[in-house]
Amino acid sequence: MANRTASIWINVKTPKGWRYCRPVCGKNHKIKPNWAMVNGVEEHHPDAFYYIYYQEPTGKRIWKKIGRDPQEAVRNAEFQQSYMRAVHAGVPVGSFFPASI
């Protein structure tokens, strides 16, 4: 089965260098801005960037830099998942990724 999911990661600067970590979610299941789980501990990182990670059908791994806004990362991840599901279902789509998303 093809991979049709996109996950959200946050790139933070740690004493060992820049690392990809999972973002922290609040009680309302939304991403807490600038908070990351680093080695199992919640840490605040105002200099962090959000990325979405997904795999193409060929197996190529893609890390797409989104920016500093967590809601923009959520929108991009949802769009990428919809795009991959449409391709898997055979819907004719072009290589279109809107700049506003």
Q: What is the pLDDT of residues 86-99, one digit of tens each?
A: 888 888 876 656 65
Between CA 76 and CA 97 the distance in angstroms is 9
The residue ranges of every structural domain in the chain are 7-89
61 Cβ partners below 8 Å, 6+ apart?
53, 54, 55
Q: What is the pLDDT of residues 38-62, one digit of tens each?
A: 999 999 999 999 999 999 888 899 9
Query: Model pTM?
Result: 0.83
